[in-house]
Amino acid sequence: MDHKLSDRKKKVLRAVVDEYISSPIPVSSSEIREKYFNDISSATIRVELSALEEMGYLVQPHTSAGRVPSSIAYKFYVENFIGKKPLKKKDIRTIDNFFDKKFNEIEDIVKTSAKVISEITNYTSVIVINNINNVLIKEIKIVGLEPNSALVIIITDSGIIKDNIISLKRNTNSSFIRDANVLINKIFAGYTVGELKTRSQMVEMELSDFRELLDCVIEILKNYSNKSAKNVYVEGGNKMLNYPGATLEQAKSALNVLEDKLLLGNLLDDKTDNIEFSFKIGKDETCGIDRCAIMTAKYTINGKEIGQAGVIGPERMDYGKVMGVLSYLSKSINSIAACEIIDKCDETSIFGEEDGKEK
Amino acid sequence: MDHKLSDRKKKVLRAVVDEYISSPIPVSSSEIREKYFNDISSATIRVELSALEEMGYLVQPHTSAGRVPSSIAYKFYVENFIGKKPLKKKDIRTIDNFFDKKFNEIEDIVKTSAKVISEITNYTSVIVINNINNVLIKEIKIVGLEPNSALVIIITDSGIIKDNIISLKRNTNSSFIRDANVLINKIFAGYTVGELKTRSQMVEMELSDFRELLDCVIEILKNYSNKSAKNVYVEGGNKMLNYPGATLEQAKSALNVLEDKLLLGNLLDDKTDNIEFSFKIGKDETCGIDRCAIMTAKYTINGKEIGQAGVIGPERMDYGKVMGVLSYLSKSINSIAACEIIDKCDETSIFGEEDGKEK
DNA sequence: TCTAGCAGTCAAAATATAAGAGTGCTAACA
DNA sequence: TGTTAGCACTCTTATATTTTGACTGCTAGA
């Protein structure tokens, strides 16, 4: 399907997509002629349209209707005609407002980002955390809770990962907790998550007393770098219902995909290394969400690549804007996170072990 | 609207609702006669139907159609004919499976409950936490994190409330944290959340050094007993799209209400004290969600009333089943929580007499 | 008080008609 | 060879028109 398109064909193709995006009715030869050409007639355009249809870029709903872009057309359109559009002042203000507060946790940043993307683009947004391998573990804190459970708090140079209560068979009394803190930090602190595998092997022979705890901590870290439903954040799912022309049936199936976090995670996950944006369109590329497209960008926190942030919207979405938002936001997240951390850690690595001593 | 209904009228009314619930097409006099009466003719039933319509219980979509129940009819139906239906073995197994794991936090229990309710009933479920006033604070732990922030963990007799990173202006060095732990626990430990107001006044004169921290802790506790978006959990929102006859427009507006957690919280919140179930129906009682009804029950954790759990479903829902599930689940939650806590807190004195009841 | 029977009503389905938008084709022209 | 005007043809959409069938309400008689 890689015919070379003449300049005029390109212009016609672009006209069709532009027109269809601005209003979703099949576009006719005369419409194109009026708005985009004054040197050739509609009959000539019809010839071009016919050729483009032949090549698979356009589709005709029925014999006497105008043309509608195919998935291939959108793909070509995005790759050749569209770049990130600079954001409106208003939108920048919105984003900055959202981020004008303290963030303590990665999760918090991610959730806020998802919200802001959905708010501004008016599409559904999805963010996946799936790559914290080169994040640096600054400290791990174990706090004893009930007799058999403890809270594990992981502090990294990209923020705090918390939310992990673990249950142990053994009693988590204060002396155990104290020793555990020392040991665990000896093992993990100062290393990146990526080094985890080798590290954990290194300590294979350590006191079996802490075996169970160690396994828990490793499990937690693994969970954060692996695909797991917990690491997928969706916002504005019901905006999926706003696309005109959608039937209830389509909406339902789309929402079902959104529900399946694991599937979604895979959908966003993108192998291609170098490009800024990844773009998926067509039923087979979007896990069966009909007439939709997915645009994602990698994002970083404190300079480390953490995952992907993206938008699921109708094929005829405002690609330029979406790209603009994703791009701006990825910068925003990064600088915010960086500020936070620099701001806070001017006296890094001073935290003594102070907890687990009452009862 | 409180006419007294003859027994026969009641029987007819019930027939209409039963019939309409089992299949949502207007029910005719002859249909009722066939399935519910063999002693009187359809003409006689027509007279009764006519009367019931006059009284506001039934509605006729158009002159030559059968009858459809009005909101009032559903209300009457639920109040007079329906009680909780015992659960199917299969459903009980499903529930027990869901709860067959360790729960460390209230939030965890609540989320799981919401999931299970939605799963079994196939309707949208909502749970609100809005009353932890008589929950006993066993301990509060302050863990220093970064130089200016700390994690507050609240351990109660109903489970752990955590998830609260706070930022302070002052430095959270280890000696401060140590003192804070002692002080905070002197103030809060052993008291219920309800006593909070008086307590916090009592310590008005304490060292102003800890003022800021104290305010944070109080704020957290307040947040949990107040209405706030954080305390509302929704599950299976997109099941709202499954009700036959719903238009896309209705679905959209319903999902919008679901999005507004605060509104939802108020919707579930119910003042009536003594009854087990609360039931709302009709556009004005359901915040405009069309053709839907809301059935809620109070639930307790460790014997303390914590909030409401409910189902939002179509008017023609399986009320008996819903009531059955809510009722069973409320017992489940209670006993599970109790087990957990007893299991863990063998040293505490508070339990032991009340609340034996497991099945 | 009940009921058989019938006339009347109305929605939904089926059918017919008209209008309009847009194309493809052809033949002529530069 | 590429372009264009013009026209016949196609197919959707909108609007009327008719038919069908399901119910009811009413009435008169048991």
Is there a domain that residue B352 lies in?
no
**Given this model, what pLDDT does residue B204 score?**
54
- Domain shared by A27 and A156, yes or no: no
Q: For residue B341, what pLDDT band results from cuts at 50, 70 and 90?
A: very low
Residue in the structure block whose two tokens are 């997240």: A333
**Given this model, what pLDDT does residue B284 score?**
87
B197, B225, B253 - which closes a domain = B225
- Domain shared by B235 and B211, yes or no: no
End-to-end CA gap in chain B: 43
Task: Quick: pLDDT tens for A1-55.
Answer: 445 899 999 999 999 999 999 999 999 999 999 999 999 999 999 999 999 999 9
Name the nucleotide with the smallest C1'–CA separation from A26.
C22
Which of B101, B107, B146, B220 would best serve as a mutation to test chain A binding (most A beta carbons within 10 A)? B146
At A153, is the secondary structure helix, strand, or coil? Answer: strand
The total number of structural domains in chain A stands at 3
**Given this model, what pLDDT does residue B233 score?**
96
- Report CA dihedral (B339, B344, B347, B350) to the nearest 10 degrees: -40
Using CA atoms, how far residue A96 sits from A3, A91, A113, B349, in Å, is 45, 9, 11, 51
Task: Quick: pLDDT tens for B118-154.
Answer: 999 999 999 999 888 888 999 999 998 878 889 999 9
Distance from residue B62's CA to nucleotide D21's C1', rounded to whole Å: 15
Distance from residue A68's CA to nucleotide D10's C1', rounded to whole Å: 18
Is there a domain that residue B21 lies in?
yes
A200, A225, A250 - which closes a domain = A225
Single out the residue of B279, B307, B275 nearest to residue B293, CA to CA.
Answer: B279
Q: Which residues contact A181 (CB under 8 A, 6 or more apart)?
A: A140, A141, A142, A353, A356
- CATH number, domain at B66? 1.10.10.10
- Domain shared by A146 and A204, yes or no: yes
Lowest mean pLDDT of A134-138, A264-268, B204-208, name the range. Answer: B204-208
- Domain shared by B40 and B117, yes or no: no
In chain B, which residues have their Cβ closer than 8 Å to the Cβ of A163? Answer: 163
**Given this model, what pLDDT does residue B104 score?**
78
- Domain shared by A263 and A308, yes or no: yes
Kind and range of the H or E element at B254?
helix B248-259
Contact of B13 with B74, CB cutoff 8 Å: no
Mean pLDDT over B214-240 rounds to 86
What percentage of residues in chain A have a pLDDT greater than 70? 89
What is the distance between the alpha carbons of residues B265 and B275, in angstroms, rounded to a whole number? 19
Q: Which amino acid is at A220?
A: I
Using alpha carbons only, give the angle B136, B141, B144 rounded to the nearest 5 degrees: 160
Asked if residue A73 has pLDDT above 50, the reply is yes
What is the distance between the alpha carbons of residues A358 and A318, in angstroms, rounded to a whole number? 58
- Domain shared by A208 and A250, yes or no: no
Task: Quick: pLDDT tens for A237-280.
Answer: 989 988 877 777 888 889 999 999 999 999 998 777 778 899 99
Q: Which of residues 91-150 of B touch strand C (CB under 7 A)?
A: none
- Domain shared by B260 and B126, yes or no: yes
Q: Which amino acid is at A327?
A: S
Asked if residue B258 has pLDDT above 50, the reply is yes
Is there a domain that residue B197 lies in?
yes
Contact of A302 with A278, CB cutoff 8 Å: no
Is there a domain that residue A2 lies in?
no
The separation between CA A34 and the C-alpha centre of its own chain, rounded to angstroms, equals: 40
Is there a domain that residue A340 lies in?
yes
Mean pLDDT over B219-229 rounds to 80
Domain that holds residue B67: 7-81
Count of Cβ atoms closer than 10 Å to residue A355 Cβ: 26
State which residue has its Cα closest to the C1' atom of C10: B64
Asked if residue B109 has pLDDT above 50, the reply is yes
Q: For residue B73, what pLDDT band results from cuts at 50, 70 and 90?
A: very high
- Domain shared by B247 and B338, yes or no: yes
Kind and range of the H or E element at A250?
helix A248-259
Is there a domain that residue A349 lies in?
no
Is there a domain that residue A71 lies in?
yes
Residues shown for chain A: 359
Is there a domain that residue A310 lies in?
yes
- Domain shared by B75 and B97, yes or no: no
Instruction: Test B181 with A358 for CB contact under 8 angstroms.
Output: yes
Highest mean pLDDT among A225-239, A243-257, B186-200, B218-232: A225-239
What is the distance between the alpha carbons of residues A152 and A164, in angstroms, rounded to a whole number? 5
Give me the DSSP letters along A63-91.
TTS-BEE-HHHHHHHHHHH--PPPPPHHH
Distance from residue A64's CA to nucleotide C17's C1', rounded to whole Å: 20
- Domain shared by A250 and A285, yes or no: yes
Kind and range of the H or E element at A325?
helix A319-344
Task: Quick: pLDDT tens for A184-242.
Answer: 898 889 988 888 766 665 555 455 677 788 888 888 888 877 778 889 999 999 899 88
How is residue B55 written in tokens? 């009284």
What is the distance between the alpha carbons of residues B197 and B203, in angstroms, rounded to a whole number? 11
Asked if residue A97 has pLDDT above 80, the reply is yes
B171, B190, B225 - which closes a domain = B225
Q: Which amino acid is at A233?
A: Y
- Domain shared by A248 and A283, yes or no: yes
- Residues within 7 Å (Cβ) of strand D: A 39-41, 43-44, 47, 61-65; B 25-26, 28-31, 42-43, 46, 49-50, 53, 60, 63-67
- Domain shared by B17 and B152, yes or no: no
Asked if residue A343 has pLDDT above 70, the reply is no
